[in-house]
Structure 1
Amino acid sequence: MKVNWNYIKAFALLVLVVFLYSFSSARNKKRNIERIEVHFTNDENLYVTEAAVNKLLIQNQDSVQNLAKDILDLKVIENRLDTNEMIEDAEVYLTVNGRLGAVITQRRPIARVYGNESYYIDVNGKSMPLSTNFSARVPFIKNIEKENIAEVYPLVAKIEKDEFLKEHITLIKRNSKGEYVLEMRLYDFEILFGEANSIEKKINNLKAFYKKALLDDQLDAYKWVNLKFENQVVCTKKG
């Protein structure tokens, strides 16, 4: 009977590969975590610190030194990070050389509510707690409750995306009629925006008024600018 050495060699090679993989995998699992690496998207760690992320990565551990890799559950750690009120998304990974890493995307505020309760409204239209580490330079909102967030959010989102509005609008107030009043950074007239509807048209009317009043050097002459009417801007002069 002729022996097929090619089959024997292939089988022996397969056994060797499986053995080496199993040995390497077992050895890798027993390897200790050497250090933590935290990366923030856009290189910003404004609202949650790297130290705070480290504590969430290894909860109830003073140090990662001599902590075996096989006792870590990356999904549990990732979920723990995702529940942090300042974090929008987290991805946790473990490298073969013993580094535990996390890529953190923080929530981004676009307005700040102040009153009996102070908090941010984030880019997704949800309430977000203030941070002890950093204060965002965003417009303030006055006289709203959390049930009003969905109502005011389209207006706030428009201000955040529009360079002209982002530069000039500093305060949004909700009056007893459910209408919104805007205040500007450089001028003391108030803008009666009305309800948070027809936003694009009202903003275009505001820009047209601003351009004309700036050209005529009349921006300081007005007390009120009313955008409530469909196709016109009604202005009230001082005095």
Structure 2
Amino acid sequence: MIKEKTYFVLIIFVIVISSIASNKININRKIEKINVIVNISKSKFLNDSIVNKLLTQKIKIEDIKSNLELDLNELEEYLELQPEIASAEVFSYPEGEINAIIFERTPILRIHNQGFYLDNFSSKIPFSDNYIPKVPVYTGYFEEKKIDQIVDITKIMIQDKFFKNEFVEIWNEKLGYVLRFRNYDFEIFWGDLSKPITKSKKLKAFCAYYANASFNKKIKRIDLTVLDQVVVTH
């Protein structure tokens, strides 16, 4: 019985010593390498070298004694302050490596003459020399307070397969928003954000009719805001 107790105590002692030694090794182990994994998405504003540079500037490897001194949450928050980044995950390995997984924002609309794109959450993404996405454009007078409205209408367009292939431009007038489609040579007066389902159905129906009909006069604009009908302006 005494031998068993002694053996058990020795095992506990070895485990404690090993843990202390391992912890001491980790404390003395310096950050030696930063690996960056950029999540592949439709956007390509960033690359490994850009994110690596951001992390290196923030971490300052020569000043870090060990990876135990790093605040990984702080690094994630720092990366997420970059306008191109939607979210970031940063983690470290005992070998002294820091890994980061980056999820970029995906632009859905370009704001003409303003120098940025908008994503699904109304966040701004600055223009980049690295990547020029093919997205619809907002033209005309731009108001910051109407960003959410612009994004809401854009999402209606890009969430429908037919609209997504056609939608190329949007602008705002005094009475509401106007759209332009790629293969239909007329303006589409959408108006405000009310009754989006009804307007979508009327727009699809008119486009189908337009594609199979002939008109004596060129159509300049259609109005989707009038109850139970589409008003055509020649």
Counterpart contact for 2:85–2:105, Cα < 8 Å = yes
Q: Where do 1:66-105 residues align within 5 Å?
A: 68-105=66-103
Please give the TM-score of this superposition, normalised by the length of structure 1.
Answer: 0.86
Aligned to 1:194: 191
- CA distance in 1: counterparts of 2:228 and 2:43, whole angstroms: 45
Deviation at 1:124, TM superposition (A): 0.9
SS at 1:29 equivalent: helix
SS at 1:58 equivalent: helix
SS at 2:57 equivalent: coil
Q: CA RMSD in A?
A: 2.4
- CA distance in 2: counterparts of 1:166 and 1:151, whole angstroms: 18
When residues 112 and 43 of structure 1 are mapped into structure 2, their CA distance, relative to the original with a 3 A threshold, is closer
- Unaligned segments of structure 2, at least 5 residues: none
Percent of aligned pairs sharing the same letter: 28
Deviation at 1:90, TM superposition (A): 0.6
Aligned to 1:149: 147
Aligned to 2:34: 36
| Residue 206 (str. 1) matches residue 184 (str. 2) | no
Aligned to 1:231: 228
When residues 44 and 166 of structure 1 are mapped into structure 2, their CA distance, relative to the original with a 3 A threshold, is closer
Counterpart contact for 1:180–1:194, Cα < 8 Å = yes
Please give the TM-score of this superposition, normalised by the length of structure 2.
Answer: 0.88
Counterpart contact for 1:30–1:70, Cα < 8 Å = no
SS at 1:171 equivalent: strand
- CA distance in 2: counterparts of 1:43 and 1:139, whole angstroms: 18
Counterpart contact for 2:30–2:96, Cα < 8 Å = yes
Q: Where do 1:111-126 residues align within 5 Å?
A: 111-115=109-113, 117-126=114-123
When residues 138 and 53 of structure 1 are mapped into structure 2, their CA distance, relative to the original with a 3 A threshold, is same
SS at 2:117 equivalent: strand
Aligned to 1:216: 213
Aligned residues: 231
- CA distance in 2: counterparts of 1:44 and 1:195, whole angstroms: 30
